[in-house]
């Protein structure tokens, strides 16, 4: 047995990793795949340098082994016992099976677990480079105590003496094992384990985090950011330099992950939607441009250019005359093609590829006319920090959508851009600069085109140690994980039953690099420089240290919270300050009153002394009332504290007052004032005494205010206190006033008239009740006030709603605001909108509600009188909005709702224009009516031309509408409605003629399967009995006007159920099609296979715009697009 330091693990897994089983008969269970996934789910959990050893096992007389299983000696790594297990004749397969086994698994305690990365090798004793090595990782436990490769290598190769794996009947097996600590995600400390901290994910910001970590770990950049002038008066959320300085400082000195909210706010990105609208390249450019601008006129001016800016030369050089045109351009990053390129060098080769301009594409050279020329790009200079954006996301014109390119794409640790005698450099390039680069960062995207996760592999000092920065979490990684595993491409799972010679299953790796950062070797000493506190402005250090102290204080505050009670004390002054301004209902907002943080064990009497210090009210003049929440959801002072309660501790009193563990103790402080306005002892309160609070309403000013409180006798009557109330209000003693009791305000306002001559007891008035009063108004003045009594005013306050109105065609901009009532009905709302717009007819207003989740208008407008109240218009599921969208129609909405609007694309018989017409007809109309209406709008090839209406979807014709079909249920939101003239030849079909569908298509491979992709405009074609493909092709070429050279490249196929059967010129086309006039798009058609050279059909994208009924209706959209001759070169 030999133990030695291992070489790095550097080969890719080649097959399924499975625990061995003595009972593997037939296919292995599906859970094997899940287990393989589970092993990779431990991904990156190791965080400390592993305890690693290599074990070499020499097995003599190998071919004579007659046991099914054979174990090695036990070896120890990381304090654990291991052994290698082999099946010399295969574990029910015709391959050598080999596993790493926990040697003492049977005696380990319940629940044991250990994690290891390991490789197993069969050494080639003739040529070591042909040794077979496979590596993996696994978390071993009682259920899976061994792990490895059932099909390690074919037995035929192993036992072939000439191959070198068995020499003198001796086999040498090596195992490299690295035992690592299992990471507990929740207790993992990035700073402790790696020296670095992560960034918190705000939601959809992981792409930003990976870029920020990359920039932070370019020390020269960080130093320049620190040296940007900022002042103590700047706010991070309004200053990108300060926000970035703050972020970098925290990344450098914090012990925990750092938030990015201040930085994103400084960009003006303060909604989730903002992050969804940007990508890494855009963020990088926004950040660099803003920093470059802020650096102007400072000591760090030009830093961005010095680090990231390179230059290339675009040139066009004539071949036959002496003429050359050049243009110098700068770049901060380079976009490299991934598709069709195996590695970075291939992308650079493609970048500088020479394009020949000849034939119809010749170059117009100044003074030389049209000339054959060469066009290309060469680099004048590369920057010290080279940022390469890999084009992993591309627009697929065939599918009319964005796709992610997951192809395998390699990138080197060292990148030599001077290779092959400087093939990428222009003649003007400075050849004395050595363009040799070292890889610094790999930014990775894991997922598909519509979402995924971003993280970065970075080596901050360009050493061999890589780190993975995955939002909050930073882990140590090896070179293989940072490079080879981010190449992308496909990975092959081994056969689940190798004996049956079935095809291995391949799956696409969706995690791959999309941005690379290289640092030039000759500049790395300057760029990877030392950055310390002296580089950071003093005001920034003070500010950030203060922030840290405040954060620590908050932490301590929270940690000690269980020892304290918060007591919130409301006073008359609070009620007077808040009622009629911040609040209208109840008495006070407790979050805006003075609060005291008091230790729970303190006697309540000590708290009263604190109150005396704060408010200047001696202890003997204080009386405290407990607040209570009533059944009608109002919150009022309920009763004064008893002497016994005041003798308790603060903690005991809080438990008496509230059953909620974390609730604050809320008190009302009653202070009575004498004639000289000095505090006096509170009067003795009997059961007969009731404490009432009073609010005064002024109908003319529409104002409500607090005027004070009084004790009354429950047997007394309101008429007895009218003089006192007039005094409190500042009225004449004999002023006639009306009284109302404010009872509740949820779910609706209840404020009832209070009889003056009925006792308080009979009116069920009790402690804490609120009486509102106002002057008695004569009947004529009631008409002059909007809200003549306090009840109507409170209802208005409860239901008032400021609504932001936006024009539907400008859904992001507020046009105007109106203060409305939630109780307004449909007519009230549109009438107010029409009045604001100066429109005489409110029925021409159409409203659309707001979707709170998408922040867009809802797809369907509000029907005429389709909702009862404004509140119904504003609600979206359980959320309420304050936005409505409006349109001004050219006819009243009730009339429009009886109409159907259709967008019809008219294809002219002889011209290339496609014109979209909006046809508006009564819902009971037919397709025939649509065609008649269309005839009045379009230009026909001849007066007697007949039209038909087709339904086209994904470049196939699905239906010819019969003229009698009602239009009410026709959907033009997702399908294209196409109108065209019926060719004369189709009107006179012979008995043996066929009308067939003709579609354009290409083939492409999707997940290892060939798929047909249709594109372009489909059409009908008559084929005659006995007609050959050659004859049909001639008619198609004439119809589509395709040049001979291009048409010669086209292939023709009969397609049924998506499978192409290619045709020869001599084939009889009609024999392929069944005897029917028109076939469904999903059945058979004649396919034209060629590349899609036509421009995008913009009108298809316009289909979902909602314009029906607006003033723009009846207009036509002219689109100069190919129609029948859709593939003719423009």
User: Positive or negative, the Cα torsion across 959, 961, 965, 971?
Assistant: positive
What 1052-1056 contacts at long range (C-beta under 8 Å, 24+ apart), as own/partner pairs, is 1052/1086, 1052/1087, 1052/1088, 1052/1089, 1053/1086, 1053/1087, 1053/1089, 1054/1084, 1054/1086, 1054/1087, 1055/999, 1055/1001, 1055/1012, 1055/1084, 1055/1085, 1055/1086, 1055/1087, 1056/1083, 1056/1084
Catalytic residues: 206, 453
| Peptide bond before residue 43 is cis, with ω within 30 degrees of 0 | no
| Number of other residues whose CB lies within 10 A of the CB of residue 422 | 15
Residues of the chain by 3-state class (helix, strand, coil), percent to 5? 25, 35, 40
DSSP string, 88-151: TT-SSSSEEEEEEEETTGGGSPTT-EEEEEEEEEE--SS-GGG-EEEEEEEEEESS--EEEEEE
Q: What number of CA atoms fall less than 13 Å from residue 1018's CA on the CB side?
A: 27
Is residue 156 classed as helix, strand or coil in its secondary structure?
helix
Residues 6+ apart with CB under 8 A from 448: 404, 510
Is residue 1077 classed as helix, strand or coil in its secondary structure?
coil
With beta carbons less than 8 A apart as the criterion, state whether 44 and 453 touch: no
Please state the separation of Cα 572 from the chain's center in Å.
50
Length of the chain equals: 1130
Q: Nearest-CA neighbor of 808 among 881, 857, 855, 767?
A: 857
Q: Write out 587-624 in H/E/C secondary structure.
A: CCCHHHCEEEEEECCCEHHHHHHHHHHHHCCCHHHCEE
| Number of other residues whose CB lies within 10 A of the CB of residue 771 | 21
Q: Nearest-CA neighbor of 404 among 457, 449, 461?
A: 449
Q: Nearest-CA neighbor of 915 among 1066, 1119, 715, 624?
A: 1119
> At which residue do the structure tokens 């249709």 appear?
1014
Please state the separation of Cα 442 from the chain's center in Å.
22
Residues 6+ apart with CB under 8 A from 535: 223, 226, 227
Q: How far apart are CA 378 and CA 365, in angstroms?
A: 20
Q: Nearest-CA neighbor of 90 among 40, 146, 154?
A: 154
> 1072: which 2 tokens?
């392929």
Q: How far apart are CA 690 and CA 711, in angstroms?
A: 5
DSSP string, 522-585: GGHHHHS----GGGS-HHHHHHHHHHHHHHHHHHHHHHTGGGEEEEEEE-HHHHHHHBTTTBSS
With beta carbons less than 8 A apart as the criterion, state whether 1088 and 1052 touch: yes
Q: Taking CA 724 as the corner, what is the angle to CA 720 and CA 729, rounded to the nearest 5 degrees?
A: 135
* Beta strand segments in 449-503, E: 451-458, 466-470, 473-477, 490-493
Q: Nearest-CA neighbor of 598 among 566, 553, 558?
A: 566
> 664: which 2 tokens?
């604050």
Residue 345 — φ and ψ, nearest 5°? -60, -40
With beta carbons less than 8 A apart as the criterion, state whether 666 and 594 touch: no
Q: How far apart are CA 120 and CA 650, in angstroms?
A: 68
């Amino acid at each position: 047995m030999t133990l030695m330091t291992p070489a790095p693990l550097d080969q890719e897994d080649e097959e399924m990793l499975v625990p061995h089983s003595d009972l593997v008969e037939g296919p292995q269970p599906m859970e094997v795949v899940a287990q393989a996934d589970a092993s990779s789910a431990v991904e990156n959990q190791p965080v400390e340098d592993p305890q690693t050893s290599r074990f070499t096992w020499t097995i003599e007389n190998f071919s004579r082994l007659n046991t099914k299983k054979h174990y090695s000696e036990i070896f120890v790594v990381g304090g654990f016992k291991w052994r290698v297990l082999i099946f010399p004749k295969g574990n029910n397969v015709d391959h050598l099976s080999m596993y790493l086994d926990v040697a003492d698994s049977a005696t380990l305690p319940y629940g044991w677990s250990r994690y290891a990365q390991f490789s197993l090798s069969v050494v080639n004793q003739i040529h070591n480079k042909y040794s077979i090595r496979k590596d993996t990782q696994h978390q071993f436990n009682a259920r899976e105590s061994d792990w490895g490769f059932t099909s390690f290598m074919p037995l035929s190769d192993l036992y072939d003496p000439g191959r070198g794996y068995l020499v003198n009947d001796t086999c040498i097996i090596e195992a490299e094992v690295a035992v690592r600590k299992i990471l507990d995600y929740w207790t993992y400390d990035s700073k402790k384990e790696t020296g670095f901290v992560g960034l918190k994910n705000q939601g959809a910001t992981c792409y930003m985090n990976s870029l920020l970590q990359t920039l932070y770990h370019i020390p020269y950049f960080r130093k320049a950011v620190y040296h940007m002038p900022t002042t103590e008066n700047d706010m991070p959320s309004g200053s990108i330099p300060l926000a970035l300085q703050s972020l970098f400082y925290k990344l450098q000195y914090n012990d925990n992950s750092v938030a990015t909210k201040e930085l994103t706010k400084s960009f003006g990105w303060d909604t989730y939607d903002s992050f969804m609208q940007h990508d890494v390249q855009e963020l990088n450019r926004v950040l660099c441009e803003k920093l470059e601008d802020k650096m102007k006129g400072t000591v760090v001016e030009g830093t961005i250019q010095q680090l990231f800016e390179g230059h290339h030369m675009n040139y066009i050089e004539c071949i036959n005359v002496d003429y050359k045109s050049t243009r110098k351009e700068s770049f901060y990053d380079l976009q490299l093609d991934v598709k069709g390129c195996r590695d970075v060098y291939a992308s650079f080769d493609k970048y500088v590829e020479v394009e020949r301009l000849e034939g119809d594409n010749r170059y117009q050279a100044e003074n030389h006319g049209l000339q054959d020329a060469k066009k290309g790009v060469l680099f004048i200079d590369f920057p010290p920090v080279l940022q390469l954006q890999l084009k992993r996301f591309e627009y697929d014109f065939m599918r009319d959508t964005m796709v992610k390119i997951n192809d395998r794409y390699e990138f080197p640790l060292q990148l030599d851009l001077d290779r092959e005698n400087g093939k990428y450099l222009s003649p003007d390039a400075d050849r004395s600069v050595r363009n040799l680069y070292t890889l610094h960062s790999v930014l990775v995207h894991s997922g598909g085109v519509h979402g995924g996760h971003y993280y970065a592999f970075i080596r901050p000092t360009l050493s061999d140690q890589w780190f993975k920065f995955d939002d909050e979490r930073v882990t140590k990684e090896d070179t293989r994980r940072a490079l080879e595993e981010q190449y992308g491409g496909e990975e092959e799972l081994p056969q689940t039953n190798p004996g049956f010679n079935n095809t291995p299953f391949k799956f696409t790796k969706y995690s791959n690099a999309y941005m690379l950062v290289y640092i030039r070797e000759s500049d790395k000493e300057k760029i990877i420089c030392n950055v310390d506190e002296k580089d950071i402005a003093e005001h920034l250090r003070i500010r950030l240290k203060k922030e840290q102290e405040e954060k620590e204080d908050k932490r301590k505050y929270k940690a000690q919270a269980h020892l304290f009670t918060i007591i919130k004390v409301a006073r008359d002054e609070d009620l007077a300050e808040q009622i009629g301004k911040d609040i209208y209902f109840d008495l006070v907002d407790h979050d805006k009153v003075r609060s005291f943080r008091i230790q729970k064990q303190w006697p309540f009497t000590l708290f009263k002394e604190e109150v005396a210090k704060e408010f200047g009210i001696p202890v003997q003049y204080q009386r405290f009332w407990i607040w209570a929440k009533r059944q009608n959801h109002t919150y009022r002072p309920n009763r004064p504290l008893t002497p016994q309660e005041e003798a308790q501790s603060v903690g005991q009193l809080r438990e008496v007052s509230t059953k909620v563990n974390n609730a604050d103790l809320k008190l009302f402080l009653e202070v009575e004032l004498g004639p000289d306005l000095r505090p006096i002892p509170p009067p003795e309160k009997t059961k007969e005494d009731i404490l009432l609070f009073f609010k005064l309403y002024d109908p003319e000013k529409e104002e409500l205010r607090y005027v004070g409180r009084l004790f009354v006798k429950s047997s007394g009557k309101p008429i007895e206190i009218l003089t006192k109330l007039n005094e409190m209000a500042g009225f004449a003693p004999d002023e006639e006033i009306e009284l109302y009791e404010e009872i509740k305000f949820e779910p609706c306002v209840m404020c009832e008239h209070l009889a003056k001559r009925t006792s308080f007891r009979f009116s069920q008035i009790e402690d804490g009740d609120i009486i509102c009063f106002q002057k008695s108004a004569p009947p004529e003045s009631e008409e002059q006030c909007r809200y003549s009594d306090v009840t109507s005013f409170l209802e208005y306050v409860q239901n008032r709603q400021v609504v932001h109105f936006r024009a539907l065609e400008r859904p992001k901009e507020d046009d105007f605001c109106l203060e409305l009532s939630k109780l307004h009905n449909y007519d009230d709302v549109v009438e107010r909108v029409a009045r604001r717009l100066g429109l005489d007819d409110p029925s021409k207003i159409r409203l659309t509600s707001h979707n709170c989740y998408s922040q867009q208008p809802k797809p369907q407008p509000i029907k005429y009188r389709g909702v009862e109240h404004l509140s119904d218009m504003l609600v979206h599921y359980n959320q309420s909005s304050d936005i409505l969208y409006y349109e001004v129609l050219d006819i009243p909405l009730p009339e429009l709702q009886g109409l159907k609007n259709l967008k019809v694309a008219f294809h002219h018989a002889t011209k290339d224009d496609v014109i979209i017409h909006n046809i508006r007809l009564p819902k009971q109309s037919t397709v025939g009516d649509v065609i008649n209406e269309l005839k009045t709008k379009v230009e026909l090839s001849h007066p007697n031309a007949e039209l038909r209406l087709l339904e086209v979807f994904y470049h196939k014709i699905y239906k010819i509408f019969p003229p009698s079909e009602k239009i009410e249920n026709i959907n033009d939101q997702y399908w294209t409605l196409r109108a065209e003239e019926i060719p004369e030849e189709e009107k006179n079909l012979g008995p043996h003629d066929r009308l067939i569908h003709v579609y354009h298509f290409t083939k492409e491979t999707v997940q290892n399967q060939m798929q047909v992709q249709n594109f372009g405009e489909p059409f009908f074609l008559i084929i005659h009995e006995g007609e050959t493909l050659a004859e049909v092709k001639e008619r198609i070429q004439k119809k589509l006007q395709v040049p001979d050279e291009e048409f010669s490249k086209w292939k023709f196929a009969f397609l049924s159920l998506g499978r192409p059967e290619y045709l020869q010129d001599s084939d009889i086309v009609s024999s392929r099609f069944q005897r029917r006039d028109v076939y469904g798009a999903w059945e058979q058609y004649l396919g034209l296979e060629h590349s899609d050279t036509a421009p995008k059909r913009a009108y298809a994208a316009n289909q979902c715009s909602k314009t029906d009924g607006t003033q723009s209706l009846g207009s036509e959209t002219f689109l100069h697009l190919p129609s029948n001759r859709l593939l003719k070169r423009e």
